Amino acid sequence: MTRIAVVNPNTTASMTATIAEAARQAAAAGTQIHALTSSMGPVSIEGYYDEAFALPGLLREIAAAEREGAQAAVIACFDDTGLDAARTMACIPVIGICEAALMTAALIAKRFTVVTTMERSRVPIEELAHRYGMAGRARIRAANISVLSLDDPNSGARDRLRSEIARAVAEDNAEAIVLGCAGMADLARTLQHEFGMPVIDGVGAAVKQAEALVALGLSTSKRGAYASPVPKRYTGALSEFAPA
């Protein structure tokens, strides 16, 4: 049985529940999903400032999951919050949902559009698209909705998301849509049916890629950029996941 830890780097448990359901729907019959909520940090992650405060809690959850037998970890935030730090710390493979979603979209479409939440979230995702070699293929749009509004059926957020997807189809000639927030994970199949085109949720894409790495016996390389950190002492919360 494959054990995958899916970590929500914010502290909102209802979002973790949405993420967990999407992960379990994507997982193979022999995969066990452990959905975890960070115990410290912001209630939502919308840009660089929130990312900084999310890191300690995220790393602590991944370290604990690895100690408890997780064979891979998924960071369920579309900013790929803390991805490089987590890969340096952990020996198991760690997958970011943005990277997983973009790589999946590239397999089925030449041009695709990522629809995310706020403008301050759009810019970091543009930078990630460039980093992952997708800048020429991916357009990034913001629906100008907050992450937490996706949980509120009376907020109108889901209608604004649909409107932005419609604009992506009409103006970008998008061949596929990538949902640019883990809080949208439960909408992928419905939107795919509504728009008659591929709609990719990064949580599901990351789970399938994690399964593949475990099945292939591949893990994070510890040469070069992701070499294990030099042992040192940390203080406060950091001591919980610091190298021995």
pLDDT, tens digit (0-9, with 9 covering 90-100), for 112-169: 999 999 998 999 999 999 999 999 999 999 999 998 898 888 899 999 999 999 999 9
The predicted pLDDT at position 234 comes to 58
Q: Are residues 61 and 137 in the same domain?
A: no
The predicted pLDDT at position 55 comes to 95
Share of the chain above pLDDT 90, in %: 87
Looking at 25-29, 111-115, 183-187, 194-198, which range is the least confident one?
183-187
Six token digits for residue 195: 């728009």
Angular region, 47: left φ>0, alpha ψ -120 to 50, beta rest: left
Over residues 43-71, the pLDDT tens digits come to 999 889 999 999 999 999 999 999 999 99
Looking up residue 41, the CATH number of its domain turns out to be 3.40.50.12500
Q: Are residues 150 and 195 in the same domain?
A: yes
* Domain count across the chain: 2
Q: Are residues 194 and 221 in the same domain?
A: no
Looking at the whole model, is its pTM more than 0.85? yes
Report the chain's mean pLDDT, rounded to a whole number: 93
The predicted pLDDT at position 235 comes to 59
pLDDT confidence tier of residue 229, bands split at 50, 70 and 90: confident
The predicted pLDDT at position 232 comes to 62
The dihedral of CA 16, 21, 24, 26: what is its sign? negative
Q: Are residues 22 and 113 in the same domain?
A: no
The predicted pLDDT at position 243 comes to 44
User: Is the confidence at residue 244, as pLDDT, over 60?
Assistant: no
- Contact present, 172 and 113 (Cβ < 8 Å): yes
State the residue range of the domain holding 75: 2-97+204-240
Q: Are residues 106 and 179 in the same domain?
A: yes
- CA dihedral 135→85→123→153, nearest 10 degrees, is 110
The more confidently predicted of residues 231 and 82 is: 82
Q: Are residues 15 and 75 in the same domain?
A: yes
The predicted pLDDT at position 154 comes to 85
Please enumerate in sequence order all residues whose Cβ is within 8 A of that of 120, keeping only pairs 6 or more positions apart, or say none.
Answer: 46, 47, 48
Q: Are residues 184 and 140 in the same domain?
A: yes
Q: Are residues 51 and 133 in the same domain?
A: no
Q: Are residues 145 and 64 in the same domain?
A: no
